[in-house]
Amino acid sequence: MTDLSGEVCFITGAGRGIGKDTAKYLASCGAEVAVTDRDGASAKAVAEEICAEGGHAIGLTCDVSSTTSVDAAVQACVAKFGALTLCNHNAAWTSFSHDTNAEAIDLAMWDRVINTNATGGLRLTQAVLPHFRRSGRGSLVFITSGSAAIGENARVAYGASKAALEQLMRHVAATYGRENIRCNAVAPGMILTDTAALAISEASLAQLAEENPLRRLGTGEDIAKVVAFLLSTDAAYVNGQVLRVDGGLMIAPRLGPKAGRASEEPN
């Protein structure tokens, strides 16, 4: 198991789904974890679960679309744990009915998706860098998506936001590496979260699993383990990379994502 003892990690969008599984996994690796979400109650519930299992966590409200909210949550994390050395930007938002194609999307919808997913990553980077410097080290992992690298014919803003996040990741990796600060991205494939299980029919889920080279959908823990690795010193010489955790979906052309497939698919 990855050793994260002595590390303090700030994670966004961790009230449910992949973020929740990642927060719990990071805590089980020994990190002190600031579990944050726009929905503060869900973040607090996850932190309580971690503490009940013997880990160390605090639950905080953090809306990544607001600079004030991000700054306040990062300050609260440092006030609680005395430092901040790791960060995982996992929060993301889109609308399946309104984040459509280039002609139809409303500009306000475009702005909201970009502001949450991509600008949220920048806000977080700006907030954590001073604390990484103070600690003499830091590691950031952005959660992106296969959508960053393909031309889907739906979710134009979502794909653009994740591509922007990957480019921000390369910038941070190249610029701050000399200060012992690394930045990488994890691009999940189709991950079966509780939300996805409720939103997608069993037949569609079975079809999606059948299309994957590994013949199954991913789990939150599949992502969490790779995030933990990239955050840790086991990945000390990994910087500026996008690691696809998708069962091989993107490299299997005949099986890969079909442009504009199911509007019911989650992120």
Known catalytic residues?
158
The letter for the amino acid at 213 is: P
- 34: helix, coil or strand? strand
CB of 249 to ligand NAD, least distance (A): 10
Can you tell me which of 93, 183, 211, 222 binds ligand NAD, judged by CB under 6 A? Answer: 93
- 95: helix, coil or strand? coil
Can you tell me which of 58, 190, 227, 231 binds ligand NAD, judged by CB under 6 A? Answer: 190
For position 85 contacting ligand NAD by CB under 6 A, the verdict is: no
CA distances from 144 to 26, 175, 234 (A): 19, 20, 21
Can you tell me which of 23, 91, 105, 124 binds ligand NAD, judged by CB under 6 A? Answer: 91
> Rounded to a whole number, what is the distance in angstroms from the first to the last CA of the chain?
28
Dihedral pair phi/psi, residue 116, rounded to 5°: -75, -55
For position 55 contacting ligand NAD by CB under 6 A, the verdict is: no
Q: Which is nearer to ligand NAD, 5 or 97 (CB)?
A: 97
Give the footprint of ligand NAD on residues 119-148 (CB under 6 A).
143, 145
For position 19 contacting ligand NAD by CB under 6 A, the verdict is: yes
CB 10 within 8 A of CB 27: no
Can you tell me which of 17, 55, 59, 121 binds ligand NAD, judged by CB under 6 A? Answer: 17
Can you tell me which of 2, 28, 232, 267 binds ligand NAD, judged by CB under 6 A? Answer: 267
Q: Which range of residues in 76-84, 177-185, 186-194, 247-255 is near ligand NAD by CB under 6 A?
A: 186-194
- Residue 33 in tokens: 């974890």
- Residue 52 in tokens: 């009940």
Residue 152, burial from CB neighbour count under 10 angstroms (0-12, 13-18, 19+)? middle
- 104: helix, coil or strand? coil
CB of 114 to ligand NAD, least distance (A): 12
Q: Where are the beta strands (DSSP E) in the chain?
A: 8-11, 32-37, 56-61, 86-89, 138-143, 181-188, 242-245
For position 195 contacting ligand NAD by CB under 6 A, the verdict is: yes
Please report, as ranges, the residues that interact with ligand NAD according to CB under 6 A: 12-13, 15-19, 37-39, 62-65, 90-93, 116, 143, 145, 188, 190-191, 193, 195-196, 266-267
